Amino acid sequence: MPQGKPRDPHKERHWRQLIEQWQRSGLTVGAFCQCHRLAVSSFYAWRRTIVQRDRLTLPSPTPEPVTFLPVHVRHDEAPTQPPLDLVLADGRCLRIPHGFDPAHLRRVLRALEDSPC
């Protein structure tokens, strides 16, 4: 059972035309309503009503097809051995990760031996 007053197609057409004129005018709603001797509240009410009616009567857009992309999972190998903790004579500790470069470690140790710290 319909609620409220039945639709008046002439009134709706009239308000649609007014709203289109307002959109083309570049005026604010208040200025447009003042020029056309319209109540601002009526303008907003009709604009809201027309938007709602258009939403109900427009067909819902067809959803775009979903495209799945291939995913390649790469497993980073976790070290099987814990890092090596090297405690120097002066109490400093070096944590050396698995797979270290021995030549690089020799250079670091030499630099630490030469360091007065």
In a domain, 27, yes or no: yes
- Rounded to an integer, what distance in angstroms lies between the CA atom of residue 113 and that of residue 89? 10
Structural domain includes residue 3? no
In a domain, 78, yes or no: no
> Whole-prediction pTM value?
0.46
- pLDDT digits 0-9 by tens, 78-103: 657 788 888 877 777 888 887 888 89
Q: Does 88 lie in the same domain as 53?
A: no
Answer for the pair 45, 55: CB distance below 8 angstroms, yes or no: no
Q: Check if the beta carbon of residue 41 is closer than 8 Å to that of residue 69.
A: no
Residue 117 has pLDDT above 60, yes or no: no
Domain range holding 52? 9-57
